[in-house]
Amino acid sequence: MERIETDVVIVGAGAAGLTAATELVTAGREVVVLEARDRVGGRLWTGDVDGAMLEIGGQWVSPDQDALIETLDELGLETYDRYREGQNVYIAEDGERRLFEGEIFPVPAKTEGEIVGLIEKLDALVAEIDPDAPWTHPRAKELDEISFAHWLETQTDDVEARLNIGMFIAGAMLTKPTHAFSALQALLMAASAGSFSHLVDADFILDKRVVGGLQQVPLLLAERLGDRVRLGQPVRTVRWQEDAPAGAAAVVAVTDELEVHARELVLAVPPVLVDRISYEPPLPRRQHQLHQHLSMGFVIKVHAVYETPFWREQGLSGTAFSPYELSHEAYDNTNHGDTRGTLVGFVSDEAADEVFRLSAEERKERILESLSHYYGEQAKHPVVYYESDWGSEEWTRGAYAASFDMGGLARYGADLRTPVGPIRFACSDMAGKGYQHVDGAIRMGRLVASQIVEELA
């Protein structure tokens, strides 16, 4: 067993952990980053699949994400616009394919009025929510005790309006069914992006991509950190003490090969994985409880690459939605400068469960059938096809991120980031602004680093 001594040990080399490490090194601290996988990036992973560059994990950047944008600038990374010229597609309940422009789907006038009304109501409520402390809203408990499905039912009896508004938060963001999370959790999701209107506006929320892939952020950060980052080192045990003498090691992170003794430890892992580690002594009661009330969402990100972006010739932007389709949303995801065309589609929560019961061949057929409803028969014949399956990833266990069960946010939210002795927590899944996004991971990495710098000073 190799023994290492350092100021701060960081568990997890995702965007949060690597940002924290970078900030601490800049402040003159010694750090060691222990990463379970044999690569850095966590939920950022730009892969080569059969000769196609695919963003297997996170990829889009929106204009409000200033922590991420600053990091991209610092690292000299360039961005480009998501392709969006032309008409979008909406598929109605009876399967009719309708083309449209703008944000509001081509639905009957009454439904459109209900959708616009719901967006206004949600925007007004979201404006009252502090994304860093949604539990302080005067009606937080009440809003956390009703499901988002139920809240929508109390607002309108128009089912199509409810399905569409539900889709923006459920299928598209928390990747859980609307009955599985609270109205407060839905408001946090929207508040973290500035407003509910931002979530509805694909041109805002899915604005830009990074030339060469978003995994370059963790790759470049790790390159600068050099041999401070140790791969293939799942942390199994954390030994800690509350009152270590000043300057002494208060915490030890143990992997199968290393023992890292440090004054502070950052758990930069999804909160659902905190319990994978053994703690000596055990974590306090509050942590034992609260981590049981969080769970990962679940979505399949589907990549289909074609010889050409054939939909553009039909005047289509590639942007497509339908709450009635297996793939509830899809986009043109062609890489910068690529002559081939790529579509990306998403199959969320219960629909994902359903297709994972099928064989791989049947699943592919069902998903491509759904894409063909938006783009025509050609969509059934990609030259490269790939499904990002984060549910099978031992060190992630779902996608995109973790959220609380009913009532959990009001009850436990305030303690999610509370340190335990020398142990601190940082992850996109506990961010306010940028919650569940890379921007939030960077914010949490910065926050925890600044707290440690102050603590160790």
Residues lying near ligand FDA in the complex (CB under 6 A) are found at: 11-17, 34-37, 42-44, 57-60, 234-235, 268-270, 273, 276-277, 301, 388, 390, 395-396, 399-401, 427-428, 436-439, 441
Separation CA 136–CA 276 (nearest Å): 30
CB of 35 to ligand FDA, least distance (A): 5
CB of 57 to ligand FDA, least distance (A): 4
DSSP 61: B
Q: What are the CA-CA distances from residue 117 to residues 69, 126, 225 (Å)?
A: 33, 14, 50
Chain centroid, CA 331 distance in Å: 17
For ligand FDA, the closer of residues 151 and 386 by Cβ is: 386
In this structure, are residues 417 and 425 in contact, taking their beta carbons and an 8 Å threshold? Answer: yes
For ligand FDA, the closer of residues 90 and 346 by Cβ is: 346
Burial classification of residue 253, based on how many CB atoms lie within 10 Å of its CB (0-12 exposed, 13-18 middle, 19 or more buried): buried
For ligand FDA, the closer of residues 57 and 318 by Cβ is: 57
In this structure, are residues 43 and 58 in contact, taking their beta carbons and an 8 Å threshold? Answer: yes
Structural tokens at position 29: 């601290």
CB of 389 to ligand FDA, least distance (A): 9
For ligand FDA, the closer of residues 177 and 271 by Cβ is: 271
For ligand FDA, the closer of residues 60 and 105 by Cβ is: 60
The dihedral over CA atoms of 373, 356, 388, 339, expressed in degrees to the nearest 10, equals -30
In this structure, are residues 98 and 330 in contact, taking their beta carbons and an 8 Å threshold? Answer: no
Give phi and psi for 160, each to the nearest 5: -65, -35
CB of 209 to ligand FDA, least distance (A): 8
CB of 176 to ligand FDA, least distance (A): 14
Of 364, 357, 416, 390, give the one whose Cα is nearest residue 175. 390
Separation CA 413–CA 409 (nearest Å): 5
For ligand FDA, the closer of residues 43 and 373 by Cβ is: 43
Is the preceding omega at residue 279 within 30 degrees of 0, hence cis?
Answer: no
In this structure, are residues 365 and 358 in contact, taking their beta carbons and an 8 Å threshold? Answer: no
For ligand FDA, the closer of residues 64 and 160 by Cβ is: 64
CB of 285 to ligand FDA, least distance (A): 22
CB of 82 to ligand FDA, least distance (A): 10
Separation CA 142–CA 144 (nearest Å): 5
For ligand FDA, the closer of residues 151 and 400 by Cβ is: 400
Question: Rounded to the nearest 10 degrees, what angle do helices 15-26 and 216-225 cross at?
Answer: 40
For ligand FDA, the closer of residues 25 and 107 by Cβ is: 25
CB of 299 to ligand FDA, least distance (A): 7
Chain centroid, CA 325 distance in Å: 22
Burial classification of residue 230, based on how many CB atoms lie within 10 Å of its CB (0-12 exposed, 13-18 middle, 19 or more buried): middle
Separation CA 309–CA 364 (nearest Å): 20
For ligand FDA, the closer of residues 213 and 408 by Cβ is: 213
CB of 382 to ligand FDA, least distance (A): 18
CB of 454 to ligand FDA, least distance (A): 22
Sign of CA dihedral 41, 45, 47, 53: negative
